[in-house]
Amino acid sequence: MLAMPYALITIPFSHFCEKARWALNHHRLGFEEQAYLPLFHLIGALPSGQRSVPILKAGEKTVGDSTDILHFCDQVGSGTRLFAERSLDDAEPDAIETWEEEFDQRLGPAVRVVVYDVLLAHAAYTRDFMVESGPGWQRQAIRPGFGMLRQAISKSYAITPARAQRARGRIDDIFARVAQTLADGRPYLTGDTFSAADLTFGSLAGPLVSPAEYGAALPPLEGAPDALKRLTEEFRATAAGEYLLRLYANDRIQA
C-alpha cells in the first residue's frame, strides 16, 4: 500500500482540526490522520515545535495553523479555490478573508468554551465519549486519568460559567450576522461560490449543530446530558444553524 503524501495530526473532534480536514477533502488531497486525545496531542505536536493542532506534514514541510493549511491546500489541491487570488498590491483583506479571520479569532474559541462548559459538567458522559474516540493505548490511559485531563482542559481554556455566558453572547451575535448576510438569498456567505468563509464557519460552528457529516465522531446526542441536547436544538433552529446543516449536507466532501 502506498503511503499517503500528507499526514494530519489532530484531536479528532476538534473543530479547528475539522477545518483542516475539510480543506484537504475539498481539494481531494489524500492524507493519513494521526489522532490524539487532548494532552496526548503534545506527543504529535512537540516534535514540530508546536503545542497545538492541527499540524499538516507534507514531506519536509510542516504547516501548523488551520488557516495556513487552507492556503496550502489552495496552492497544491485540485478543488475550487477557498481564497480569492489577489495581487501583491492588495493591502486590504477581501470579504472571504474578513469572515474567515473573524470566525477563526472569535467564533472558534467561543464555541470551544461553550461546548466544554457543558461537557466538563458531565464527567462520566464526556469520559466515555473520549474513551471511545481515543486511538489504541490512549483509550486505556484516559479512563483512570480523566480527572486530571478534565482539570487541565478547564484550566487551559479558563472554562467558567461567566466566560461561557460571554462566549454564548458572541456566538449569538455572529449567528445573527451570518443569517442577516444570507437573508438576500445568496447560497454562500460571499456570493455564489463556496469559500474559506463558509468552510471556516461550517467547521468551527459544527459542534453546535452536530451534523452527521462531521469528519470525526462528536459527542453523541443519544444519551447526552439535557444541556447538550438543548444547546444543539437551539442552534439547529436558527437560520445560521440551518445553513450549517446545508453546508455539511451539500459541501462537506468526504475522503
Instruction: Determine the pLDDT at residue 136.
Output: 83
CATH number at residue 63: 3.40.30.10
Residues 13 and 120 in one domain: no
The verdict on residue 56 lying in a domain is yes
Q: How many domains does the chain have?
A: 2
Q: Does residue 191 lie in a domain region? A: yes
| Residue 113 shares a structural domain with residue 12 | no
In a domain, 181, yes or no: yes
Note whether 111 and 232 are same-domain residues. yes
For the chain, which residues score pLDDT lower than 70? Answer: 1-3, 87-93, 255
Query: Mapping DSSP to helix (H, G, I), strand (E, B) and coil, where does residue 70 land?
Result: helix
Question: Whole domain around residue 235: which residue ranges?
Answer: 95-251
Residue 1: what pLDDT?
40
Closest CA relative to residue 207, chosen from 221, 187, 189, 222: 221
**pLDDT at residue number 140:** 86
Choose one of 76, 107, 122: the last residue of a domain: 76
Task: Classify 194 as helix, strand or coil.
Answer: coil
Burial 21-42 (b: 16+ CB within 10 A, else e): bbbbbbbebebebbbbbbbbbe
pTM of the model: 0.95
